[in-house]
Structure formats: structure tokens, C-alpha cells
């Protein structure tokens, strides 16, 4: 008796590992999580409760309640520049549900998928469950952590089926600019690839022009993935959605029948209230992120610790190479010695080595204290490494 080969081969997430480790350490400043520190705004909570009280406790259409999908048509038009209809939208269990359904609908065992490295670890897990072959494209500092067409060309073979892009990205916060997005779509056309565009952080951006891949799609090859989790601080409600070309939207919708039947109906009514209610809640969370981002960048700058200033999302991608240790060792000794939790960059793929991810989705005082401790630790360790290096060099004369 054994579990399936595909599931046995599934990598585990470094983020989850760390959460387990932190569960009983209350004195730790936790800059590891990937979710808003704000509660869900009250009017959204109330709408969810009202839906339950009104008897919205039954199954609904597997693609989601029509009221929500119809409202999403306007959101997608106004925020993302995507023209679509309710029948091309599927409401899923978070963006993760959209991503899994898309992998399930488009990838056969042995197909190659192009995934970002560093990238959100769940992509690799889903590819493993689908027995897909992962081809990682590297995102590095010298290209602003953006994909390059040259590298995608090198990795693509006749077996390549799907290109996954993530903008704004986790863990780096990079945003794919319009010109590059046009080139990526042209590349996908040339190689007949599906493009899965994870835009979970679409509304969390800082002075950068974000563009939705599907708004530039000329031949119906983009599946776009969005979420209520981050924009509205609704991670536990589990509502996300995908927009797919008409040729595959029905298959994606009917997949829900086998996977989940439908998303929690009260959560969908809450999500509808999020869209129709005041958007000031989004703006004020965004302003808080922007303020904390600026402060954190300032502190890292004062200590001379290199960091990529994120264009979107709420993570800092901190370069810890000067400390001269692996990102895993750095994260665990930071936790042990300075009581600050961050995620080792290697948890996001081999190209994440030399970095750690620290969230700025935590209260301001914790950001200031946590980032100061992180920066001080990094420069202390680097100074110690230099001192030892100098001693060794001195000793050899």
C-alpha cells in the first residue's frame, strides 16, 4: 500500500514548515506570513453573516453565484482592462483553486510547464500533482527579477504547454511592464503556449504601472487568476476567481463540480459586498503597506543591506549574501539569536538562495523592530565574516 507517485514527489513549502516551527513561540516578531495583518473590513464580515442568516446555506452554481460573477465583470473591466462576461469567470477556493483547476484542465502528465524561480512554492507542488515536468525560468537582480524572452526561448521545447507568470510577484514584488508583457504574449503565440497569469496582488502596487496580461491578449491564450484574499484581507474566506477564454471556461467551471462542488456561498456574498462597498478600505490598507515599505527600505538602507524595492505585493526580498551563509541557516539563526522570523529564499526555488523574504504586512512597530534586528544581524554577521577573512588572510603571510 502506498500513496501515488505524484503526491509522494510533491515538494513541501518552506513557509508552512516555518509556521509549524513558530506555532508555540509567542515572543517572536513574525515577518514570515503571506497574508494581510488587517482584519476583514466590518461591512464585508456583516454581509457574510447576513447571507447565512438569510439562508444562503445551500449549494450554488459550480462557477459561483451569478451576482458575484456579474459584478466581477465590472471589476475586471475597470481595474484590469479585461473585457469578459460572467460565463467566462469561475469563482474558486482562493486563487489557489483557480491555479489548480487551470493546471488540471491544461496539463497532461509529462507536459512541460515554465515556472518562475524564485516563485511561490505552490506552483511546483501543483505541477508535481499533475505529473508535469517543471522548467524553471530564473528571475535575477540584473534583469529586475523579470523573465527574459531569451531564457524562455532556451527552456521551451515542443513538450512545453504552459507558461506561468506572476505579477506583482511573490516573493519579489516585481511587476511585469507593458512592453515585456507584449513580448511574453508574442513569445507564447510563437510557441503555442497557454499563459497562466497569477495576479493575486493586482491592487497592491506602489507607483508602478501594473498591466493585466489578458488585457493585451489577442488570441485567447491567457487564463487570469485573481483573489479577494490580499486586497480585502480575506484569506480565510477562500474566494478567488479566474477568467478564461470561452473555449476552456466551461471545462474549468465543470472541474469545480468534481473538486469542490462550489465555493462557500456566504463567502461569495461577502466577496460581493467587498466589490460593491467602499474601496476606501483597500486604499487605507495600501497606504499602510506603502508607509511600512518606505520605512523598512530606509532601515535596510541605513545598515547597507541590499534589498529589491518591491513594485507591488507586501514582501521585501532582502539580499543576505554578505552574511556568507545559506538562506536557511540565516533564517534559523536570525530566529534563534534575534527572535525574528523570515522565510529563507531557497524556499522559493534555487534562485532564491542568498535572499530572505520578510513581509511588511505586520504592525508598524513590529516592522521597525523586526527589520532593524534583521538588518543589524545581517551586518553583524557580515562584519564577523570579514574579520575572520582578514585574520585568515593575515595569518597566511
Q: Which cell goes with 181?
A: 508583457
Residue 94 binds ligand PLP, judged by CB under 6 A = yes
What does DSSP say about strands 343-344 and 340-341: parallel, antiparallel, or unpaired? unpaired
Of positions 167, 170, 256, 264, contacts ligand PLP by CB under 6 A: 170
Residue 240 binds ligand PLP, judged by CB under 6 A = yes
| Residue 215: partners with Cβ closer than 8 Å, 6 or more residues away | 80, 81, 82
Q: Which cell goes with 86?
A: 460572467
Of positions 32, 76, 89, 95, contacts ligand PLP by CB under 6 A: 95
Query: For residues 137 and 116, is the Cβ–Cβ distance under 8 A?
Result: yes
Q: Which cell goes with 322?
A: 554578505
The distance of closest approach from Cβ of residue 61 to ligand PLP in the complex, given in angstroms and rounded to an integer, is 20
CA 211 remoteness from chain centre? 16
Minimal CB distance residue for ligand PLP: 94
β-strand partners of 198 = 166, 225
The helix or strand, by DSSP H or E, that contains position 19, with its residue range, turns out to be: helix 14-22
Residue 117 binds ligand PLP, judged by CB under 6 A = no
The distance of closest approach from Cβ of residue 186 to ligand PLP in the complex, given in angstroms and rounded to an integer, is 24
CB-based contacts of 365-372 (< 8 A; 24+ apart in sequence) = 366/29, 366/30, 366/31, 367/31, 367/292, 367/295, 367/296, 368/295, 368/296, 368/299, 369/29, 370/29, 370/31, 370/340, 371/31, 371/295, 371/296, 371/299, 371/300, 371/316, 372/299
| Residue 287: partners with Cβ closer than 8 Å, 6 or more residues away | none
Q: Which of the ranges 2-10, 93-101, 298-306, 381-389 carries the binding residues for ligand PLP, by CB under 6 A?
A: 93-101
Classified as helix, coil or strand, 287 is: helix
Which residues between 261 and 290 bind ligand PLP (CB under 6 A)?
none
Residue 120 binds ligand PLP, judged by CB under 6 A = yes
CB of 312 or CB of 354, closer to ligand PLP? 312
Residue 227 binds ligand PLP, judged by CB under 6 A = yes
Quote the CA–CA distance of 10 and 377 in Å, as a whole number: 34
Residue 166 binds ligand PLP, judged by CB under 6 A = yes
Of positions 14, 34, 243, 342, contacts ligand PLP by CB under 6 A: 34
DSSP for residue 4: -
CB of 97 or CB of 370, closer to ligand PLP? 97
Q: Which of the ranges 23-31, 94-102, 269-277, 379-387 carries the binding residues for ligand PLP, by CB under 6 A?
A: 94-102
The distance of closest approach from Cβ of residue 229 to ligand PLP in the complex, given in angstroms and rounded to an integer, is 3
Query: For residues 269 and 296, is the Cβ–Cβ distance under 8 A?
Result: no
User: What string marks each residue from 186 to 215 as x (binds ligand PLP by CB under 6 A) or -?
Assistant: ------------x-x---------------
Q: Which of the ranges 19-27, 88-96, 126-134, 266-274 carries the binding residues for ligand PLP, by CB under 6 A?
A: 88-96
The distance of closest approach from Cβ of residue 264 to ligand PLP in the complex, given in angstroms and rounded to an integer, is 13
Pick from 111, 312, 299, 273: nearest CA to 194? 111
CB of 119 or CB of 373, closer to ligand PLP? 119
The distance of closest approach from Cβ of residue 380 to ligand PLP in the complex, given in angstroms and rounded to an integer, is 31
Residues at the site binding ligand PLP, with contacts judged by CB under 6 A: 34, 94-96, 120, 166, 170, 198, 200, 227, 229, 235, 240
Amino acid at each position: 500500500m502506498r500513496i501515488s507517485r505524484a503526491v509522494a514527489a510533491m515538494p513541501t513549502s518552506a513557509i508552512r514548515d516555518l509556521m509549524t516551527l513558530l506555532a508555540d513561540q509567542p515572543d517572536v516578531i513574525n515577518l514570515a506570513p503571506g497574508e494581510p495583518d488587517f482584519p476583514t473590513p466590518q461591512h464585508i464580515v456583516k454581509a457574510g453573516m447576513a447571507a447565512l442568516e438569510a439562508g444562503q446555506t445551500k449549494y450554488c452554481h459550480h462557477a459561483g453565484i451569478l451576482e458575484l460573477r456579474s459584478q466581477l465583470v465590472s471589476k475586471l473591466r475597470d481595474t484590469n482592462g479585461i473585457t469578459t462576461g460572467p460565463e467566462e469567470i469561475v469563482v474558486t477556493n482562493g486563487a489557489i483553486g483557480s491555479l489548480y483547476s487551470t493546471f488540471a484542465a491544461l496539463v497532461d502528465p509529462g507536459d512541460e510547464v515554465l515556472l518562475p524561480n524564485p516563485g511561490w512554492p505552490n506552483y511546483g507542488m501543483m505541477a508535481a500533482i499533475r505529473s508535469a515536468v517543471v522548467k524553471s525560468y530564473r528571475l535575477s537582480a540584473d534583469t529586475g527579477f523579470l523573465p527574459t524572452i531569451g531564457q524562455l526561448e532556451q527552456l521551451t521545447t515542443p513538450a512545453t504547454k504552459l507558461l506561468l507568470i506572476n505579477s506583482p510577484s511573490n516573493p519579489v514584488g516585481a511587476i511585469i511592464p507593458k512592453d515585456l508583457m507584449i513580448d511574453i504574449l508574442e513569445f507564447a503565440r510563437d510557441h503555442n503556449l497557454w499563459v497562466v497569469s497569477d495576479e493575486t496582488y493586482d491592487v497592491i502596487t506602489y507607483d508602478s504601472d501594473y498591466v493585466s496580461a489578458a488585457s493585451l491578449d489577442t488570441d485567447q491564450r491567457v487564463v487570469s487568476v485573481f483573489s479577494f484574499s490580499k486586497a480585502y484581507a480575506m484569506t480565510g474566506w477562500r474566494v478567488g476567481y479566474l477568467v478564461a477564454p470561452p473555449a476552456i471556461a466551461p471545462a474549468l467551471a465543470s472541474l469545480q463540480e468534481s473538486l469542490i462542488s462550489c465555493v462557500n456561498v456566504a463567502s461569495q456574498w461577502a466577496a460581493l459586498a467587498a466589490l460593491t462597498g467602499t474601496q476606501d478600505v483597500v486604499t487605507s490598507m495600501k497606504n499602510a503597506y506603502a508607509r511600512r515599505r518606505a520605512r523598512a527600505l530606509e532601515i535596510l538602507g541605513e545598515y547597507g543591506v541590499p534589498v529589491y524595492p518591491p513594485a507591488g505585493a507586501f514582501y521585501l526580498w532582502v539580499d543576505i549574501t554578505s552574511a556568507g551563509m545559506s538562506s536557511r541557516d540565516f533564517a534559523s539563526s536570525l530566529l534563534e539569536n534575534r527572535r525574528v522570523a523570515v522565510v529563507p529564499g531557497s524556499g522559493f526555488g534555487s534562485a532564491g538562495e542568498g535572499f530572505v523574504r520578510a513581509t511588511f504586512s505586520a504592525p508598524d512597530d513590529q516592522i521597525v523592530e523586526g527589520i532593524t534586528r534583521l538588518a543589524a544581524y545581517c551586518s553583524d554577521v557580515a562584519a564577523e565574516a570579514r574579520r575572520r577573512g582578514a585574520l585568515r588572510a593575515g595569518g597566511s603571510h
